[in-house]
Chains A and B, each alone.
Chain A
Amino acid sequence: MLELKSVSKTYPGRNGAPVRALRDVSLFVNRGEFLTVIGPSGSGKSTLLFSAGAMLEPSEGSVLIDDVDIYSLSPGKRASLRRKKLGFMFQTFNLIPYLSCVENVAFPAILEGRSRRESMEKASGMLERLGLEERLGHRPGELSVGERQRVALCRSLVNDPDMLLADEPTGNLDNLLTREVVDMFRDLNNDGLTIIVVTHDLRFARMSPRVVKLLSGEVECDHAVSGGMMYQ
């Protein structure tokens, strides 16, 4: 499904010295796998996520999705791949404030070329399944944090992606909501969705069957644990 081959990423530093965010990272993620990437701030977690998500071209190495080197594709085809195969979730949800909940969710489907009506119907159905049927026409600013989280999740899944990429999805949530998100992710993974989460939150690591720990841009350890619970 996803393969990172000797991926390195170097940023120009402020004082001119290059900053190596990822160093020779190799990783293989199978279809239907649930991978949690942990590590301290600055360890390269987000860089890895965005490189895997066709958003950030590595300085060295290659990223393959379904055996296709995604950075050999044109920008337009990479955008198409993001629409069709990938779903992004962000720590601050990044919902568009002047669109309603249902429009926020439907937006990637409209970008994909589906009719507005079809997209809105699908978005409504997804929101209703997550208990947001009363909130369809509300704007993000009128929702609670937990509701925004669910809207963001629906948006990332509206095009039926193969892989969900989540950047600190529980960073702004209390314990109860975090538990809810963890449960939702587990259910989605049980349904066959490949999930990659980068997080500080060890609660994800505890329930994740596979955990990769990054340190200074390098894979420090990569543990596949049957049934999770390794980081209890």
Chain B
Amino acid sequence: MNGSMLLAWRELTARRRSFVLSVAAVAVVIALCTTLELVSRAREVAVASRIDFKGPALRIIPGGLSQIDLERFRLGTSYLPEGTASFIEKKLSRSVRNMESRHLRVEEVGGKSVHVIGFDPGDIVTPFDALKQLPGGSVVLGSQLARTLHTDAGETIPLLGGEWPVAAVLPSTGTVEDLALFLRRADLREEGIAAEANEIRLFLRPGQTIDGPLTLLQDTRPDLSVIPSNPPGEVERRVFGGLGENRMILYMVAAFVAALSILFWSYLNSTERRIEISTVIATGGTPVGVFSTLALRSVITGVLGAILGYGSGVILVFLQDREAASGILWSPGLFVQVLAIVLVLSIAGSLPVALRSAFRDHVSTLQES
């Protein structure tokens, strides 16, 4: 490998112009793909956050209960089996972006039946800070409920045998949550312990549709009722899925062209250098060493191009849309993927030519020289 590295590096630096041009060509392709991917991801994340606020893609409640039971909060004493959340995390981690556990029930408040939602501030998906930062021992009211109870923020309401301060009244959302009362699930105690979850809400990743998770849950967990919410976001998610597939096709075409270029470049290089290759074999080199030399030339060019291209792509994204890109600019996963693809292409592109060069008739070549 030491000898191969010496040959590869010396040849690249001796032909500086073609080396720089090759690195630049790789960098341009990688920069374009990186920019496209990062911008797409940034947009998807931004849109996905807004879609989530419209509601979950799937709602999971105890088996035997129906959508009507859910809408009326009539879940009785049925709870989700223990381990449901961890099962979903394990089986659906590639589809699910966020997961929220709730306890739903109906309680009497000021002589009226009120839909009560117990939630965990850490995992709630909402645009409202009043819910994310709700202190223990207080409640938040939906806009319609606050009007019905004639109660405003800072006042108290009677609930569960005590008086609860109202931390905030939510703006109108146009959903059933306008009629709901929110409090921490830990405060919604039953027999001295926090109320168990009887609803899990799933929010899917961009490009994921409800079909896969729905089928998996229905097939493997008959002890659960899975209710597709079919919110407007499903259409967007399907569009994202289609765009993602188109991007993948574009990347595959780019990778194919890159592999062909490496193959062609290696072929020209090995044809031009055949006397040197045969001399290396005569001085004790091996076919593996010849392959290493050719592959190393491609790998060095490819890796330098990938680093430059990825860096350029990140800078382009930053200049283009600083706000959208701020969350995903440093994406080590994508960088590692880019490097891995470049490495595989460099080695695969060099392999046929290297094999041909290593096993050609070196004696004839040396005699011709």
Do the beta carbons of B369 and A83 come within 8 Å of each other? no
User: Is A96 positioned at the interface, with any CB of B under 8 Å from its CB?
Assistant: yes
Which of B113-121, B203-211, B281-289, B314-322 lies at the interface with chain A? B281-289
**In the complex, chain A residues 74-123 whose Cβ is within 8 Å of any chain B Cβ:** 75-76, 79-80, 82-84, 88, 90-92, 94, 96-99, 103, 107-108, 110-112, 116
**In the complex, chain B residues 1-31 whose Cβ is within 8 Å of any chain A Cβ:** 2-3, 6-7, 10-11, 13-15
Residues of B near A103 (CB, < 8 A) are 6, 10
User: Is B348 positioned at the interface, with any CB of A under 8 Å from its CB?
Assistant: no
Asked, given contacts A90-B366, A98-B11, A98-B14, whether A53 binds B6 with beta carbons under 8 Å apart, the answer is no
Do the beta carbons of A96 and B3 come within 8 Å of each other? no
Chain A minimum-CB-distance residue to B282: A88
User: Is B268 positioned at the interface, with any CB of A under 8 Å from its CB?
Assistant: no
Residues of A near B6 (CB, < 8 A) are 99, 103, 107, 110, 116
B interface, size bucket = 20 to 34
Residues of A near B362 (CB, < 8 A) are 55
User: Is B337 positioned at the interface, with any CB of A under 8 Å from its CB?
Assistant: no
- What is the bound-complex CA distance between A52 and B15, given in angstroms? 36
Which of A47, A94, A116 gathers most chain B CB within 10 Å?
A94
- What is the bound-complex CA distance between A159 and B6, given in angstroms? 18
User: Is A155 positioned at the interface, with any CB of B under 8 Å from its CB?
Assistant: yes
- What is the bound-complex CA distance between A167 and B365, given in angstroms? 13
User: Is A178 positioned at the interface, with any CB of B under 8 Å from its CB?
Assistant: no
Contact with A along B336-369 (1 / 0, CB 8 A): 0000000000000000000000000011001101
Do the beta carbons of A155 and B363 come within 8 Å of each other? no
Residues of B near A108 (CB, < 8 A) are 283-284
Chain A minimum-CB-distance residue to B287: A75
Chain B minimum-CB-distance residue to A83: B284
Separation in Å of the A47 CB from the closest CB of chain B? Answer: 8
Residues of B near A112 (CB, < 8 A) are 284
A interface, size bucket = 20 to 34
Do the beta carbons of A94 and B366 come within 8 Å of each other? yes
Do the beta carbons of A111 and B14 come within 8 Å of each other? no
Give the contacting residue for A110; candidates B3, B275, B278; CB below 8 A.
B3
Asked, given contacts A96-B276, A116-B2, whether A88 binds B283 with beta carbons under 8 Å apart, the answer is yes
**In the complex, chain B residues 260-301 whose Cβ is within 8 Å of any chain A Cβ:** 275-276, 278-287, 289
Do the beta carbons of A46 and B2 come within 8 Å of each other? no
Asked, given contacts A90-B366, A94-B275, A99-B7, whether A111 binds B282 with beta carbons under 8 Å apart, the answer is no
User: Is A71 positioned at the interface, with any CB of B under 8 Å from its CB?
Assistant: no
- What is the bound-complex CA distance between A202 and B132, given in angstroms? 98
Asked, given contacts A56-B363, A79-B286, A98-B10, whether A110 binds B2 with beta carbons under 8 Å apart, the answer is yes
Separation in Å of the B279 CB from the closest CB of chain A? Answer: 4
Residues of A near B278 (CB, < 8 A) are 94
Residues of A near B281 (CB, < 8 A) are 55, 79
Provide the main secondary structure of the chain B interface.
helix
Separation in Å of the B3 CB from the closest CB of chain A? Answer: 5
Separation in Å of the B292 CB from the closest CB of chain A? Answer: 11
Do the beta carbons of B286 and A107 come within 8 Å of each other? no
Residues of A near B14 (CB, < 8 A) are 97-98, 139
Chain A minimum-CB-distance residue to B9: A98
- What is the bound-complex CA distance between A94 and B369, given in angstroms? 8
Separation in Å of the A192 CB from the closest CB of chain B? Answer: 21
Do the beta carbons of A53 and B282 come within 8 Å of each other? yes
- What is the bound-complex CA distance between A59 and B332, given in angstroms? 57
Residues of A near B366 (CB, < 8 A) are 50, 55, 90, 94, 167
Contact with B along A47-77 (1 / 0, CB 8 A): 1001001011000000000000000000110
Separation in Å of the A71 CB from the closest CB of chain B? Answer: 14
Residues of A near B289 (CB, < 8 A) are 111
Residues of A near B279 (CB, < 8 A) are 90, 94, 96
Do the beta carbons of B3 and A94 come within 8 Å of each other? no
Residues of A near B280 (CB, < 8 A) are 96, 107, 111
- What is the bound-complex CA distance between A56 and B365, given in angstroms? 12
Separation in Å of the B276 CB from the closest CB of chain A? Answer: 5
- What is the bound-complex CA distance between A185 and B276, given in angstroms? 25
- What is the bound-complex CA distance between A116 and B5, given in angstroms? 11
Residues of A near B282 (CB, < 8 A) are 53, 55, 82, 88, 90, 94
7 new A-B contacts at CB < 8 Å, known A97-B276, A103-B10: A50-B363, A79-B286, A84-B284, A94-B275, A94-B276, A98-B11, A110-B3
Q: List 25 A-B contacts (CB under 8 A).
A: A46-B363, A46-B367, A55-B282, A55-B363, A56-B363, A75-B286, A79-B281, A79-B285, A80-B284, A82-B283, A83-B283, A84-B284, A90-B366, A94-B278, A94-B369, A96-B276, A96-B279, A97-B14, A97-B276, A107-B3, A107-B280, A110-B6, A111-B284, A116-B6, A156-B283
A residues contacting B by CB (< 8 A) are 46-47, 50, 53, 55-56, 75-76, 79-80, 82-84, 88, 90-92, 94, 96-99, 103, 107-108, 110-112, 116, 139, 155-156, 159, 167
B residues contacting A by CB (< 8 A) are 2-3, 6-7, 10-11, 13-15, 275-276, 278-287, 289, 362-363, 366-367, 369
4 nearest CB pairs, A to B: A83-B284, A98-B14, A94-B279, A82-B284
